[in-house]
Amino acid sequence: MTRARKYARLRRHFDQREKVIEMNKSEELESDEEQSALMHSRAREAGSELRRAIITLSTGSIAILFLALTAEIKPPLSLLEKICAVGTVLSHAAAALSGLFAWGADAERNFFWAHSLSAKQHENWRTKADKERKVRQSVMSNADKTSRILFVVGVLLATIYLLVRTV
């Protein structure tokens, strides 16, 4: 095992350990506000990790399908196999794009949120920034849901392709 791999493995171990310590701290929190803030932080982190995983898996599956489908295939693909392969590629591409769109909306939401907090002296700026933040929140939420659905559709189509091809 290389030195870099050992370091990465050790870093993951410590990151997991820190999460366990943080979880134990949550049981010691006194107020509901502190507990709520911690749970919101965890939910945000989990959502970001899920978005990252969907984008990574979607782009990886597109690359694998590209390599598999550009090679000479014997016997040739049936119509159902072609539909499943193309559907998988399209749904995973759309899932990756939707995930990227959600990341952009998240960044814009945070920008407008910070802008609304810093614009306390100008009420009309704050109102506009709050409105924009809520719009970006809605866009981010819808894009995240869309990417999850498209990813699952792609996985189902890939499974159908494999079953039809091997049976």
**Residue 138 included in any domain:** yes
Q: Which has more confidence, 101 or 122?
A: 101
**Residue 24 included in any domain:** no
pLDDT at 128: 78
Domain range for 144 is: 52-166
Query: Is residue 29 scored above 60 in pLDDT?
Result: no
147-151: average pLDDT? 96
- Tens digits of per-residue pLDDT, 72-88? 888 888 999 999 999 99
Give the chain's domain count.
1
**Residue 47 included in any domain:** no
- Tens digits of per-residue pLDDT, 114-136? 877 776 667 777 777 778 888 88
**Residue 6 included in any domain:** no
Going by pLDDT thresholds of 50, 70 and 90, the confidence category of residue 27 is low
Per-residue exposure over 108-125, b if at least 16 CB sit within 10 Å of its own CB, e if not = bbeebbebbeebeeeeee
Q: How far is CA 77 from the centre of its chain?
A: 32
**Residue 90 included in any domain:** yes
51-62: average pLDDT? 93
Share of the chain above pLDDT 70, in %: 80
**Residue 37 included in any domain:** no
**What is the C-alpha separation between 106 and 137, in angstroms, rounded?**
7
Query: Is residue 26 scored above 60 in pLDDT?
Result: no
Does this model's pTM top 0.95? My answer is no
